């Protein structure tokens, strides 16, 4: 039997009402939301009843996703589903780290609240945006980016899909050049140029927050966005620099598969990562947490 990996999603799949059914049905999930509410009043209310625009604000998106994702992961754990490894896409890496025991969940939630505030503050300094580029190879996307002073390839998601961050004033022409090259640039539902040099100050400020955090040895193998390799003892560096560095997601998934993982469970409100894995390797099993829960409960 192969190994299982939990993969925690990033911003973009959030929606009004996320996590409500989990909290109503599973006491362990309700406990996670209660913990988050005790540290940041109204978190569960934002998840369950917040508007789409409210949930798009990075300072809200990140704590709300943390709450929903940790609640989902703890629900599976309570049912005896323990992963052999974990990884998280961007924000999801902080949730994965908390679940893996790098720090306690209260510290993880406080860190993600601060991370969201810092990244939003930095995003508001510039008129920036992100787009997913499809149908082109990484080298082609990089070549187009090099024509622009402030557009960067930032998330290497799966074959035929790379996310870019950049100044909004350059993104329209960039999208036209991508189209001319045979690809398409799809705007993302985020406010900011994440994982790019526009986030350098946020990364430095987050490193200061991490300096005051108590770390423990993770009891589940945790993979890094920056290196695509398992974490060592440089937790603070990996989590802070991740904010302004590319996410090597395709490489992470390939390394997990090479380590023996053949089942991926997406811990989050959507199926973005599940779909990416289907484009990386068709021979492994990938499903959402809701699909897996249904499978476990109907077994």
What is the Cα–Cα distance from 122 to 136, expressed in whole angstroms?
A: 30
| 205 and 83 together in one domain | yes
- Give the pLDDT score at 298: 85
CATH number of the domain where residue 149 is located: 3.30.70.250
Give how many domains the chain has, as a whole number. Answer: 2
> Which residues carry out catalysis?
90, 195
Residue 11 main-chain phi, psi, to 5 deg:
-70, 150
Q: How confident is the model at residue 237 (pLDDT cuts 50, 70, 90)?
A: very high
Beta strands in 168-260 (DSSP E): 184-187, 221-222
Q: State mean pLDDT over 73-88.
A: 97
Asked if pLDDT for residue 117 goes beyond 80, the answer is yes
Do 133 and 78 fall into the same domain?
Answer: no
Q: How many CA atoms lie within 13 A of 84 on its CB side?
A: 12
- Whole-angstrom CA distances from 166 to 105, 158, 174, 189, 197 are 33, 20, 9, 14, 9
CATH code of residue 271: 3.40.366.10
Q: In this predicted structure, what is the pLDDT of residue 184?
A: 97
Report the mean per-residue pLDDT for the chain: 96
Q: What is the pLDDT of residue 188?
A: 87
Residue 103 sits in the same domain as residue 236:
yes
pLDDT band at 126 (very low <50, low <70, confident <90, very high): very high
The reported pLDDT for the residue numbered 191 is 77
The residue out of 139, 160, 187 marking a domain boundary is: 187
Residue 299: the pLDDT is 72
Q: How confident is the model at residue 113 (pLDDT cuts 50, 70, 90)?
A: very high
CB contact at 8 A, 250 and 256: no
Assess contact for 46 and 57: CB atoms under 8 A. Answer: no
pLDDT category of residue 33 using cuts at 50, 70 and 90: very high
Reading the block at residue 10, the tokens are 């990033």
Residue 196: closest CA among 231, 140, 241, 158: 241
Q: Please enumerate in sequence order all residues whose Cβ is within 8 A of that of 138, keeping only pairs 6 or more positions apart, or say none.
A: 153, 156, 162
Q: How many CB atoms neighbour CB 150 within 10 A?
A: 19
Pair 278, 245 in one domain:
yes
Answer whether 97's CB lies under 8 Å from 108's CB: yes
Q: Please, are residues 284 and 263 in contact by the beta-carbon 8 Å criterion? A: yes
Task: Give CA–CA dist 57/120, Å, rounded.
Answer: 8
User: Is the domain of 201 the same as that of 225?
Assistant: yes
Instruction: Mark whether 32 and 143 lie in a shared domain.
Output: no
Q: How far apart are CA 70 and CA 90, in angstroms?
A: 15
Per-residue pLDDT reduced to its tens digit, 205-226: 999 999 999 999 999 999 999 9
Q: What are phi and psi of 270, to 5 degrees?
A: -125, -155
Position 287 scores a pLDDT of 97
Residue 1 above 70 pLDDT? no
- Mark whether 117 and 137 lie in a shared domain: no
Residues of the chain above pLDDT 90, percent: 95
pTM comes to 0.96
Whether residues 274 and 157 fall in one domain = no
**Distance linking the first and last C-alpha atoms of the chain:** 17
189: pLDDT strictly greater than 80? no
* 93 and 173 in a common domain: no
Task: Work out whether the CA dihedral 249, 135, 146, 196 comes out positive or negative.
Answer: negative
Do 224 and 248 fall into the same domain? yes
β-pairing, 3-8 with 261-267?
Answer: parallel
Strand ranges (E), 61-205: 85-88, 128-134, 151-158, 161-167, 184-187
Domain span at 169:
128-187
């Amino acid at each position: 039997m192969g190994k299982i990996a939990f993969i925690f999603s990033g911003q973009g799949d959030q929606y009004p009402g996320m996590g409500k059914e989990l909290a109503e049905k599973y006491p362990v999930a309700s406990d996670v939301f209660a913990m988050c509410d005790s540290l940041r009043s109204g978190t569960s209310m934002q998840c369950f009843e917040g508007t789409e625009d409210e949930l798009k604000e990075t300072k809200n998106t990140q704590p709300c996703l943390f709450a929903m994702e940790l609640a989902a992961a703890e629900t599976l754990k309570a049912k005896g589903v323990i992963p052999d490894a974990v990884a998280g896409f961007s924000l999801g890496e902080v949730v994965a780290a908390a679940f893996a025991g790098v720090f306690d969940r209260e510290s993880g939630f406080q860190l993600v609240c601060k991370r969201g505030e810092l990244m939003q503050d930095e995003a508001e300094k510039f008129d920036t945006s992100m787009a997913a580029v499809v149908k082109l190879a990484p080298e082609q996307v990089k070549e187009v980016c090099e024509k622009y002073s402030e557009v960067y390839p930032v998330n290497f998601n799966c074959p035929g899909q790379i996310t870019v961050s950049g100044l909004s004033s350059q993104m329209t022409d960039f999208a036209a050049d991508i189209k001319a090259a045979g690809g398409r640039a799809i705007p993302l539902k985020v406010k900011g140029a994440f994982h790019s040099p526009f986030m350098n100050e946020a990364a430095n400020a987050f490193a200061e927050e991490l300096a005051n955090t108590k770390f423990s040895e993770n009891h589940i193998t945790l993979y890094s966005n920056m290196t695509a390799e398992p974490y060592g003892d440089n937790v603070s560096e990996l989590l802070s620099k991740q904010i302004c560095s590319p996410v090597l997601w395709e490489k992470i998934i390939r390394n997990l598969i090479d380590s023996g993982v053949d089942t991926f469970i997406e811990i989050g409100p959507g199926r973005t990562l599940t779909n990416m894995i289907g484009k990386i390797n068709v021979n492994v099993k990938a499903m959402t947490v809701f699909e897996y829960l249904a499978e476990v409960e109907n077994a």
